[in-house]
Amino acid sequence: MSDAPQLVLVTGLSGAGRSTALRVLEDAGFFCVDNLPPALVPELLDLVSDEGKLRRVGLGIDVRTGSFLSGAEDMLSKLEASGHAVQVVFLDCADDVLVRRFSETRRPHALAREGDLHGAITRERERLAGLRDRADVVIDTTELSVHDLRRQLIDYIGRDAARPSMVVRLLSFGFKYGIPIDADLVFDLRFLPNPHFVDALRPKTGVDPEVADYVLKAPETEELLRLLRALIDFTLPQYASEGKAYLTMAFGCTGGRHRSVAMVEELRRLLGDRHEVVVSHRDAQRVVR
């Protein structure tokens, strides 16, 4: 259905930024509807198509939809079977951060029973598991500001046919701060030589040439890069053929400042001529201890 409107479904955990995401879509020219029962979505799209002027539609769905939520996955399958191009954005977040956000705003959680916020988040994850599994992109908002989330969404929805079909996001992180929950593939680099133990390199990061040389010229790094390139060359076309629009590859070292950053920057250089690459260094600017 080439003349069908572009449809972006935003879902995810309460408090993870879904309202912010819908506002971003509205600012980008989308006609947005929040918590419309899934059974009514095809009718909405028919109305929008008949109107002709509305070419981009954003939908918000979360657990407040109640019993209607169970029909969301079936609705998506039917839309795709009828030729609609549907993109699903799932917003995730660490439990402790969600609890803090609800405490700060003093807003009730739709599933909280007698104030049991932790239990509500657990039940919400269970109910949204199916939508998370079929999401085109999962965005972890744990460490994101409103502006960071806005930039990531604009980058994602702004892709057009002239650009590559799949965006590859390369993320560096420190294991001591936790594994990113939005990563599709995670690689542990803690076996590589560590610049942290070199006094002159400790305050620098992997973007500095001295640190990059120290990490990348090690024999074990050269062999790892050879194997990674073979793995990437094989897997990326497979992901793309399955319709995945956004692949996040996370590379971790102990603190997320040296080895992981150097590796991500090198992969950016190696992949940039064949893929659209987005780079994030989650922990590179944390204080060295």
Cβ–Cβ under 8 Å, residues 280 and 170: yes
* Domain identity same for 151 and 227: no
* Domain identity same for 127 and 242: no
Q: What is the pLDDT of residues 37-86, one digit of tens each?
A: 888 888 888 887 665 567 788 999 888 777 667 788 888 888 888 878 88
- How many domains is the chain built from? 2
Q: What is the pLDDT of residues 139-152, one digit of tens each?
A: 999 988 888 888 88
* Domain identity same for 193 and 174: yes
Residue where a domain stops, chosen among 157, 176, 199: 157
* Domain identity same for 28 and 70: yes
Residue where a domain stops, chosen among 103, 130, 157: 157
* Domain identity same for 149 and 13: yes
* Domain identity same for 109 and 200: no
* Domain identity same for 230 and 112: no
Question: Please, how many CA atoms are within 13 Å of residue 54, restricted to the half-sphere of its CB?
Answer: 16
Mention every residue, 6+ apart, whose C-beta is less than 8 A from residue 88: 8, 9, 11, 76, 131, 134, 135, 136, 137
Q: Is the pLDDT of residue 164 over 60?
A: no
* Domain identity same for 41 and 87: yes
pLDDT at 50 (0 to 100): 64
Q: What is the pLDDT of residues 208-233, one digit of tens each?
A: 999 999 999 999 999 999 999 999 99
| Domain annotation covers residue 136 | yes
Range of the domain at 230: 167-281
Q: How far is CA 242 from the centre of its chain?
A: 17
* Domain identity same for 192 and 227: yes
